[in-house]
Structure 1
Amino acid sequence: MDQDKRKIILKEIDHWRRSRLLPEQYCDFLENLYKDQTEGSSPRSGFTLNTLIQQGSLKLWSLSFGIISFFFFIVFYFNVFPWGLQIAITLLLSAACYALAAYHRRDKALFSMSMAGLGSLMLLGFGSWIIAIQGWPPGIGTTLLIAFCGFVWLVLGYALRFGIISYCGFACGMLLYAFLLGQLNPDASWGMLQVFWLPLAAIFFWLSWLGYHRLKAMAPVFFAVSVSLWCMPEADALLLRDAEIAAMPALILMKIVAAFLLLFGLRKKWVVWITS
């Protein structure tokens, strides 16, 4: 098969992926199959980081050194900048990492995931640093930061199809919900916490089923959120409220057994949802 036909086929596979005419793993298999045929004999196939370091030009080395030096300059003088410039730098650096993640999403999945993770860490880390430097009220500042990070991670995870990033966005939502419950009902009992959290676990379990039929990329994320919400009443009581319940180990064991029985009984359903 000549190169033009292979390029046409690869474009068609990409169209199937974007329009979701075929499952993601089928598109990956077909794309790798034809990429192996087109790129296997390419002289760049053995191009590695080692050769990049050894054979890199002076221009490339200078650019890399400049970028690294500029980053350390920003970190060193970050607390001197006005708060507006601090926020702008944080958003700019995070957006640059996210842009690299999106650009290399197809051809370098590991690098793309690393850049998305680095951008997320910068957003959270620099945001926390700004709150500490400016002396803003930690309660309000932290809540706004968590809400903003959660929104960004939800959108980014869905756009780039990175389930772990989407899960982090939902985790921010769970944390904000726990803070809200702590403010509205600080003396809630263990039974009341079950009422607050378990219906949400059931909702996200249903969303996992719905995602399998409507939005396959999000089905595993919804399932992971559902499992996390199942454990949140105990986490809320122990970590956020410092509750002292003598029977807590027995209650946790009971919840684990109940989860085991539910997952075992429904295994033929949820396994399909998270692996398709």
Structure 2
Amino acid sequence: MPPLDEDKRKWVVREIESWRRAKMLPEQYCDFLLNLYLDDLTVRPKSATGEKLRQIGQASGKQWLYVIGIFSLICLVVLHFSAFPLALQIAVAVIGTGGLVGLGSRYRERLPARGLALLSAGMLLLPASGTAILYVQGWKDGPGLFVLLLASALVWILCGIAERFAVLHWLGWMGVIALYASVLSRQVPDPSWLEVQVFWVPAALLFAWLSWFSHIKFKATGAVLFATALILWFMPEVYSALFGVDRNWIQVELIVKIAFVGTLMFRLRRQWMEWVA
């Protein structure tokens, strides 16, 4: 192997370490490649954890002070959140959520794990801080909690689409479904079997059509909508089991629906697999 200059050698080593962290190559093969490019094996990180610890140990005093300052600020905000006026509470929630989402979007391409972690933290901060505001202001008994959860679910859906984060997008729709079921249980306390089917089956068909409609430009969105359609297809039975609606035939209904949708998916497998691929 021809000798490499020091800069190229360091670049190759960094690439191999990034492959190790991303699990693109087996651990043993990464070690083998590092043995080829490193003369002094003492400088080679033993693992991804070792690399992180080495980076922490080499951090400057300003970086340590920066991290300590941010952590102290977060602790102060959490401890004194209830003492803030309403406008400041809302500002903290909005700025915190927006900051985490912005950082997550920035790191999404270069450092996917860090980007997803920041996005997830931002999405969790929104309902958590909103719930805290409702309790501090004494609004927990009104429609505030429902509005907050609906807004959070819609934000999850929009961020999931914008960031191509399929799990977040799907969780947003699951939140909407849960809120829809809650509204139905309050507004229609004693529905018939037919009414329960009408509540959910048309929505399943709509989402299946939306999956086909959106897959041309947004493949990930098509897969999420298709998965949501399957959930909605079985929601009448889930709803009946949870709220005690004609439970005698739930098992039969599930078997019939599974057989029907399974047969349909088998016959149309070439079509729907294109939507979700």
Give TM-score, length-normalised by structure 2.
Answer: 0.77
Task: Report % sequence identity.
Answer: 32
Mean Cα deviation higher: 78-87 or 120-129:
78-87
Q: 1 CA distance for matches of 2:157 and 2:9?
A: 34
RMSD value, Cα = 2.4
Q: 1 CA distance for matches of 2:240 and 2:127?
A: 25
Q: Which amino acid aligns with 1:56?
A: A
Note closer, same or farther for the CA distance 1:260–1:39 as it changes in structure 2 (3 Å cut).
farther
* 1:41 partnered with 2:11: yes
Instruction: Give 1:171 deviation, angstroms.
Output: 2.2
Q: 1 CA distance for matches of 2:144 and 2:241?
A: 24
* 1:52 partnered with 2:22: no
Q: 1 CA distance for matches of 2:70 and 2:12?
A: 30
Instruction: Give 1:251 deviation, angstroms.
Output: 2.7
Stretches of structure 1 lacking an aligned partner (at least 5 in a row):
1-37
Instruction: Give 1:118 deviation, angstroms.
Output: 0.7
CA contact (8 A) 1:211 1:218 kept: yes
Q: Which residue of 2 aligns with 1:123?
A: 126
* 1:85 partnered with 2:55: no
Q: 2 CA distance for matches of 1:52 and 1:164?
A: 31
- Secondary structure of the residue aligned to 1:213 is coil
CA contact (8 A) 1:211 1:217 kept: no
Q: Give matches, 1:143-162, under 5 Å.
A: 143-162=146-165
CA contact (8 A) 2:211 2:223 kept: yes
Deviations along 1:122-145, one digit per CA (max 9) or x if unpaired, are 111121222222221435011110
* 1:170 partnered with 2:170: no
Q: 1 CA distance for matches of 2:71 and 2:182?
A: 38
Deviations along 1:143-194, one digit per CA (max 9) or x if unpaired, are 1101211221122111111111222222232233223323332211233211
CA contact (8 A) 1:102 1:160 kept: yes
Stretches of structure 2 lacking an aligned partner (at least 5 in a row):
1-7, 19-50
Q: Which residue of 2 aligns with 1:104?
A: 107
Q: Which residue of 2 aligns with 1:215?
A: 218
CA contact (8 A) 1:105 1:112 kept: yes
- Secondary structure of the residue aligned to 1:41 is helix
Q: Give matches, 1:1-276, under 5 Å.
A: 41=11, 45=15, 46=17, 48-239=51-242, 241-243=243-245, 245-275=247-277
Instruction: Give 1:221 deviation, angstroms.
Output: 1.2
Q: Which amino acid aligns with 1:245?
A: R
CA contact (8 A) 1:157 1:166 kept: yes
- Secondary structure of the residue aligned to 1:270 is helix
Q: Which residue of 1 aligns with 2:5?
A: none
